[in-house]
Amino acid sequence: MRTPNQLKKSLASHHLLHVMAAHSPLSARLAEEAGFDGLWASGFELSALYGLADVSLISMTQHLDMVRAMAEHSSLPIVADIDTGFGNAINVIYAIQQYERAGAAAVVIEDKTFPKVTSLVADGRQELLRTEEFQGKIRAAIATRRDPDLLVIARTEALIAGLGEEEALKRAAAYEAAGADMILIHSKQKTPDEVESFVRAWTGKAPIVIVPTAYPEMNEARIKALGKIAIVIYGNHAIRASVTAMKDVFARIQKDRGIQNVNRDIVSVEEVFRLQKMDQIKADEKRFLA
């Protein structure tokens, strides 16, 4: 079984880690070939893959199966997005056991109530747990993990819920005190100002994780200038890229009433064969089939 050591060793190098969202073994393999440092096993992306809203409709079993499949097809460390932990602290205990066995290098647990509502939707219901209750979830996760290298990342949605920086900092400090290895701060503001202000004000020792989906101008230079951010997650770009490409290709085929034009602009069947490792299948057939 793979261990979480790879991610923890990468963090110890003090280089900013770039983690790409994935929702399938194929997207995981493409992210690895592109050179990313890790995979974000995104609940949002998997929900979208099933055509569902990201409101706790996808079960732990469905998400866990995808994490296992990605772990089998990519050597990158996996940061598992386990939302609220699928319930209370008792559910978190079971989730940690299962995700650790599946090969996750880290889990991210957020301080919303269950069922959650996706963070970036306009006028969404954003309800947070009491700080003490979420601390219990963090303590449960820390007590349950068998490998101390499995990172438990506490995600506070205080800024998403409109509670302000002071509440976000207070919660982050409480979560670090409960044992969280890292703090993920999330924001839906269109500029990085809110997150930058939080990071500058953060006095804890736990490194910061950000997901700059809503504020894309938060580039590497700007992140490094803050000095406290260890991981940047590109939280939904795999599924958005997939939707963009499919909509474009489908529309062109309809317009042209055939594939004669679009065929030259998409990857060949042979490239898909490569990603499927068909050469290995052929070699095994030659070796083993009578």
The residues that are catalytic are: 54
111 backbone dihedrals φ, ψ, rounded to 5°: -95, 30
Burial of 219 (0-12, 13-18, 19+ CB in 10 A): exposed
CA-to-CA dists, residue 263 to 98, 249, 251, 258, angstroms: 43, 9, 13, 9
Tell me if 234 sits within 8 A of 39, measured CB to CB. no
Contacts of 225 (CB under 8 A, 6+ apart): none
Q: Which residue has the tokens 């070939």?
A: 33
61 backbone dihedrals φ, ψ, rounded to 5°: -60, -45
What sign does the dihedral 141-142-145-148 (CA atoms) show? positive
**Tokens encoding 234:** 């590109």
Secondary structure (3-state) at 154: strand
